Amino acid sequence: MTETVAQERSTPPHSALRRLCAIVLSMETVVFWLTIPVALAVDHASPRSIGPAGVALALAAAVLAVLARRWLRLTLVGGSVLQVIVVAVGVIVPVMYFLGAIFAALWVIGIMLGRRLDVPA
């Protein structure tokens, strides 16, 4: 058995790390849905580019939040990639630089706190 699979199985399904990752990703899903109309109204961006991009980001965050329960490693990698993409979306919607930085910080803090809380006493 590889170390990754062993770690995956050793992390309980209701661990703090899994919960915190799912919470951050769930909050991001809401923010992505709310960002779409703001980007269309304030930045006068094209609905053909903003709509699908916002929906894709929201769905990716929602799927990763659900996957946190079973596949923690996939969620950690996918969520980290998502954080980078969110900051990069700041090119299209400048306020996403700020929101992306906040969620990236929450993501890192959630991982650090989750690991600390999951360590047996």
pLDDT digits (tens, 9 = 90+) for 24-74: 999 999 999 998 888 888 766 778 888 888 899 999 999 999 999 899 999
φ, ψ at 106 (rounded to 5°): -60, -40
Token duo for residue 49: 């580019």
Q: What is the pLDDT, as a whole number, of residue 17?
A: 92
| CB distance 20 to 110 below 8 Å | yes
Mean pLDDT of 83-112: 91
pLDDT at 14 over 50: yes
Q: What is the pLDDT, as a whole number, of residue 92?
A: 78
* pTM recorded for the entire structure: 0.82
pLDDT at 12 over 90: no
